[in-house]
């Protein structure tokens, strides 16, 4: 054991410059990692603040402020689905449908399992008279959430427009069978009756 310690001591004394350089490099690497972590934490905090401020402004009907803050949040975290979703809703509220559509699509790209975003995409497509893409979006929304009554009703309505009455009836009947709160089932039953 003494021979090993003696060998190590000799190695360190003979290679002082190398040992000091390695130690200095280790210290620099450690400091860099700490600095990166601090920077990432500050960016995350800034993104969360911008997102919260934007979401709050949206809920207060201050859409310009919401857009400004949510755009900041998007720059800081470009892959955050909820930021894209809220930004899209803000643009939609202002009537900027192309920007809203792009935002909803970015939200879906970041998190594909968002039936509400798909529903909103369908509503925009319908307003642009793009029935085929509206149907495609609603079908995807219903596939993700079979209990999404509003999407099923909208899908049924689009099937009627498209002349696909059998599919429309299936959607309306699914809604009646769900018996969802807040839906006028008599109106849905009337739609089914018209299709018979």
**Domain boundaries along the sequence of the chain:** 14-96, 113-196
By C-alpha distance, which of 181, 183, 88 is closest to 156? Answer: 183
- 113-196 shares the fold of 14-96: yes
CB atoms near residue 184 (< 10 Å): 9
Q: What separation, in Å, do the N-terminal and C-terminal C-alpha atoms of the chain show?
A: 95
Per-residue pLDDT of the chain (196 residues; tens, 9 = 90+): 666 656 655 555 565 666 566 555 555 555 554 445 556 777 788 788 988 999 999 999 999 999 999 999 999 899 999 999 999 999 999 999 999 999 999 999 999 999 999 999 999 999 999 999 999 999 999 999 999 999 999 999 999 999 999 999 999 999 999 999 999 999 999 999 998 7
> 14-96: which CATH architecture?
Alpha Horseshoe (1.25)
- Cβ neighbours of residue 192 under 8 Å, at least 6 residues apart? 169, 172, 173, 176
Class of domain 113-196: mainly alpha
CA distances from 42 to 65, 86, 109, 117, 141 (A): 22, 22, 26, 29, 36
The pLDDT tens digits of the residues spanning 76-133 come to 899 999 999 999 999 999 999 999 999 999 999 999 999 999 999 999 999 999 999 9
CA atoms of 70 and 58, how far apart (whole Å)? 10
CA distances from 193 to 172, 186, 190 (A): 10, 10, 5
Give all strands (DSSP E) within 23-125, no chain letters.
Answer: none
């Amino acid at each position: 054991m003494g021979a090993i310690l003696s060998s190590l001591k000799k190695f360190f004394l003979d290679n002082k410059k190398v040992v000091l350089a390695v130690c200095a490099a280790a210290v620099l690497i450690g400091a860099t990692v700490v600095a990166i972590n601090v920077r990432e934490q500050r960016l995350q905090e800034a993104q969360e603040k911008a997102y919260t401020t934007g979401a709050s402004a949206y809920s207060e009907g201050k859409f310009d402020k919401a857009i400004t803050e949510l755009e900041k949040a998007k720059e800081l975290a470009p892959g955050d689905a909820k930021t894209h979703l809220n930004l899209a809703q803000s643009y939609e509220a202002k009537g900027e449908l192309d920007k809203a559509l792009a935002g909803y699509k970015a939200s879906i790209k970041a998190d594909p399992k968002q039936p509400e975003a798909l529903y909103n995409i369908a509503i925009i497509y319908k307003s642009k008279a793009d029935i085929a893409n509206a149907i495609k979006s609603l079908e995807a929304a219903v596939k993700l959430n079979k209990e999404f009554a509003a999407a099923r009703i909208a899908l049924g309505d689009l099937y009627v427009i498209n002349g696909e009455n059998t599919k429309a009836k299936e959607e309306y009947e699914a809604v009646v069978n769900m018996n969802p709160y807040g839906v006028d089932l008599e109106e849905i039953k009337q739609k089914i009756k018209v299709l018979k």
